[in-house]
Amino acid sequence: MNRLDIPLVPGVNALMSESVNTRPLAGVFWMLVTGACFVMVTALVKTLGPRVPAAEAAFLRYALGLVFLLPMIRPMLRARLSKRQLGLFGLRGLAHTIGVTMWFYAMTQIPIAEVTAMNYLSPVFVTIAAALFLGETLALRRVLAIVAALIGALIILRPGFRELSSGHLAMLATALVFSIGYLIAKIMSDEVSPAVVVGMLSVTVTIGLAPLAASVWVTPTLTELLILMGVATFATAGHYTMTLAFAAAPVTVTQPVTFLQLVWAVLLGWLVFGEGVDIWVLLGGVLIISAITFITWREAVLKRRAVTPTVNATKV
């Protein structure tokens, strides 16, 4: 199977850190397109506003996005999943359900730039969790990179110097539970096809969000439904173009390009939504991305299978 024929798998295709035929310019281009898609996702969710509750907005994003899973139905039906595999998929769905709901909530509470910067913490949490639960070795350099990333988070949050809102706490929870979901995806990608991994995620998250959405249901307008359809479309497109980027060039080439997402998020918040430009958020985000890039580079140098995901691999 050609690598470009592999179905898009958020958090799984990101493991493909090397390319047989490296095309760095193509990789950078597709990662730029990926960043634009994910910035559009945040812009649309911000435009949606708080009228539609976070759980309902998240549910509609996944429910409307099920149409993109039609090619994956046959592999899912053919898969004979064990009780253990079903349990792991259920746990991943639960983690992602919590994470997506918290992310949608955070988007209504704090600036786009802060949501974007704090989302970069997920790969850091994955690295820590991999050492704790998967037996990954944490060499001194990786420990120092993790410390640098956590310092970046403190620079963004600045506890004691400003009041932390519920949106900040929601993003911390989002980054943490997304890291759990990514690790489970890594385990399951060794046992079943990528189509089953992504299909089970979408199905379990939609089911998990359904009762939460029903409990706070507000009838959406046609405009709100169109916005959420746009969210599903751009999110799917972003994960697909991310796969094209990984197929074209090593992740060590494409990872630094993700910094531009923070720049675009700052400009979007400032020019479109009237949010101030916070230099501390930029500084903290740069520190986190630099740490993730260093860890990714070290994994490539050591020529081992990547554990730390790219920033985009843990997007909604």
Q: How far is Cα 89 from Cα 297, in angstroms, rounded to an integer?
A: 30
Do the domain assignments include residue 276? yes
Do the domain assignments include residue 316? no
Single-letter amino acid code for the residue at 268: L
Do the domain assignments include residue 263? yes
Q: How far is Cα 189 from Cα 197, in angstroms, rounded to an integer?
A: 7
Residue numbers of the domain that contains 262: 3-311
Cβ proximity of 79 and 271 under 8 Å = no
Number of domains in the chain: 1
- How buried is residue 279: exposed, middle or buried, by Cβ count under 10 Å (0-12/13-18/19+)? exposed
Chain segment 12-24, per-residue pLDDT in tens: 344 444 444 578 8
Q: How far is Cα 16 from Cα 315, in angstroms, rounded to an integer?
A: 17
Do the domain assignments include residue 258? yes
Chain segment 222-264, per-residue pLDDT in tens: 999 999 999 999 988 888 888 788 778 777 777 778 778 888 8
- The model's pTM: 0.82
Do the domain assignments include residue 26? yes
More confident residue, 208 or 143: 208
Chain segment 61-95, per-residue pLDDT in tens: 999 888 888 877 888 888 888 899 999 999 999 99
Do the domain assignments include residue 243? yes
